[in-house]
Each structure stands twice: as structure tokens, then as C-alpha cells.
Amino acid sequence: MIHHDLVEQAKLLAGLERGRPKLVSLRRAVSSLYYALFHYLIHHSTCLLMGSQASESSFRNILARGYDHRSLREACDSFRRSKILKDRFKDLDPAGYAVPDEIQDIAAVFSVLQEMRHLADYNLNRKWSRGEILAMIDQTERSIQVFDQLKLKDPHRSFFLGNLIAWSKH
């Protein structure tokens, strides 16, 4: 899957040069890592909506075009704070809905990675270190591992993934 390849690309870029790495390699590693998580979340969201069979992949790929970066960030920002916006879900009692740690974690990592990608792409004054990138890679892989432990039919997982596309339509 593309998200696995993008994580591997981030690792390669972070370790590309001996000694002090080129900043461009580290910047590209940050970007690859962000896109790995972006595609991971979209993949799981579209599988929830369309199914995960190979015969459904072309439908998932078309549906994936409906997701946008800003809306995913807004949804993740809400879920990471364990606080679903009251005006968005008037019928959901916020006191009765606690966002599981696994979802808060991956949502927080996504939001931070998007911010880091913007810095990597647009702030040429920002310096990066190999250690910083390797820590981001570890954190991203851990959040994916923990999220993968949620059962496919977990209602919290489904609610989170379903909202990733619903957020952009609201």
C-alpha cells in the first residue's frame, strides 16, 4: 500500500547521506511521512465506506478524491482534543462520548505532521535534524500500529473514519 512505501521513503531520505544530511532530504522525508499518514487514513476511511475487496478498489480510488487536507486537519484537531464540536453534532452528548486514546493519538500525529510538512515545504529558515525526523517516523509508525489494533467494527473507529470525509461536506 502507498502509505507503507511512503514511510519507507521517509526512512531512506532521513538516512540518505552519511554525516550531516542535506536539508532537502530531511524536508522530503517530512513530506513523505505526512503523505503516508494522509493516505493511510483515507484508505481506511474509504474501506469503511466502500469495502476492502480488490474489486472495489477503483471505487475507493474515486471516493478518495473527495478528501481534502484542510478538512482532515479540522476533523483530526477535533478528535485529538477528545472534544467533538457541539455545533457539529448537536444530538451527540459530548459528556457521554469520550474519544479513545488510539484515535486521539493518530489524530494528533496527523495534525502535527501536517504542520511540519508546511514548515518543511514553505519555511526555508527552519532547520531539521536526522534525529528529529527519525523521531517523527517512530511516532507515526507507533500511532498506526496502535490504531490498527482497534477492531474493524469498533464504533469509535468507524465514527472517526466516517467523519474524515463528512467533515469536508459540512
Q: 89-122, pLDDT tens digit by residue?
A: 666 665 556 788 999 999 999 999 999 999 999 9
Split into its structural domains, the chain has a count of 1
Q: 116-141, pLDDT tens digit by residue?
A: 999 999 999 999 999 999 999 999 99
CA proximity to 150, closest of 114, 106, 108: 106
Name the DSSP letter for residue 95. Answer: G
What is the span of the domain harbouring residue 159? 2-169
pTM for this entry: 0.90
CA atoms within 13 A on the CB side of 108: 15
Provide the residue count of the chain. Answer: 170
Q: How many Å apart are CA 69 and CA 167, to the nearest integer?
A: 11
